[in-house]
Chain A
Amino acid sequence: MAGRFHPLVLITVTTGLLLATGCGGASLGTGDDNKQAGPVKIGLLVPQSGTYKALGDDMKQGFELYVRQHGGRLGGREVQIVTADEGETADSGKAAAEKLVKQDRVLAVSGVVSSATVNGVKDLFETSRIPLVGSNASPTTLTGTEYIWRTSYVNDEPGKALGRHVAERAGGPVFLIAAGYQAGKDEIEGFKSTFLPAGGKIAGEEVYTPFPGTKNFQPYLSQIENSGAKAVFCFYAGGAAVDFVKQYRDFGLAGKIPLYAPGFLTEGGVLKGQGDAAEGILTALNYSADLDNAANRQFAPAYRAAHGTDPTTYAMASWDAAQVLDKAIGAAGSAVTPETVNAALSSVGDIDSPRGTWRFNSGGTPIQPWYLREVKLGANTVAGDLGRLGG
Chain B
Amino acid sequence: MAGWLDGNLVGFVDGIAFGLLLFTIAVGLSLVFGMMDVLNLAHGTLYLGGAYTAYALSDGTLPGLLLALTAGALVGALGGAALTWLTQPLARRGHLDQAVLTLGITFIVADLLAAAFGGEVLPTDPPAALRGTVDLLGHTYPVYRLVFIAVAACLAVLVHLLFERSSLGALVRATVADRDMVRAQGVDIRKVLYGVFALGAALAAVGGVLGAPTLGPGPGVDESVLVLSLVVVVVGGLGSVRGALVGALLIGQVQTLGVALLPQYAPFLLFGTMLAVLVVRPHGLVASAVRT
Contacts and interface: CB of A to CB of B under 8 A. Distances in A.
B255 interface: yes
B72 interface: no
B103 A17 contact: yes
A250 B144 contact: yes
B208 to A, nearest CB: 13
Contacts of B223: 18
Contacts of B219: 50-51, 53, 239
Interface string A18-35: 100100000000000000
A215 interface: yes
Contacts of A5: 238, 283
Interface in A186-224: 207, 209-210, 212-213, 215-216, 218-220, 222-223
B2 to A, nearest CB: 15
Contacts of A49: 111
A269 B119 CA distance: 9
Interface stretch (B120-128, B157-165, B182-190, B198-206): B120-128
A51 B121 CA distance: 10
B278 A10 contact: no
Interface stretch (A147-155, A272-280, A351-359): A272-280
Say what secondary structure dominates the interface of chain B: helix
Contact of A14 (B14, B230, B256): B230
Interface string A243-270: 1001100111000000000000000111
B81 interface: no
Contacts of A246: 123, 213, 216
Given A210-B266, A219-B260, A8 B118 contact: no
A36 interface: no
A39 interface: no
Contacts of A223: 260, 263
A37 interface: no
Given A14-B41, A53-B119, A239-B121, A2 B283 contact: yes
A5, A50, A247: residue with the most chain B Cβ atoms closer than 10 Å: A5
Interface in B182-234: 213-216, 218-221, 223-224, 226-227, 230-231, 234
A7 B234 contact: yes
B89 interface: no
Nearest to B8: A222
B220 A51 contact: yes
A218 B10 contact: yes
A212 B227 CA distance: 12
Contacts, number: 147
A252 B132 CA distance: 8
A180 interface: yes
A314 to B, nearest CB: 13
Contacts of B85: none
Nearest to A275: B123
Interface residues of B, number: 63
A226 interface: yes
A282 interface: no
Contacts of A243: 121, 215-216
Given A14-B41, A238-B121, A243-B216, A216 B18 contact: yes
B142 A239 contact: no
Interface in B90-134: 95-96, 99-100, 103, 107, 111, 114, 118-123, 125, 133
B224 A213 contact: yes
A226 B260 CA distance: 12
Given A5-B238, A21-B107, A215 B121 contact: no
A90 B142 CA distance: 40
Contact of A209 (B18, B41, B216, B266): B266
Contact of B120 (A7, A14, A247, A269): A269
Interface of A: 1-2, 5, 7-8, 10-11, 13-15, 17-18, 21, 49-51, 53-54, 57, 180, 207, 209-210, 212-213, 215-216, 218-220, 222-223, 225-226, 238-239, 242-243, 246-247, 250-252, 268-270, 272-275
Given A53-B219, A242-B120, 4 more contacts: A21-B107, A219-B255, A250-B144, A272-B122
Interface of B: 7, 10-11, 14, 18, 34, 37, 39, 41, 95-96, 99-100, 103, 107, 111, 114, 118-123, 125, 133, 139-142, 144-145, 213-216, 218-221, 223-224, 226-227, 230-231, 234, 238, 255-257, 259-260, 263, 266-267, 270, 274, 278, 283, 287-288, 291-292
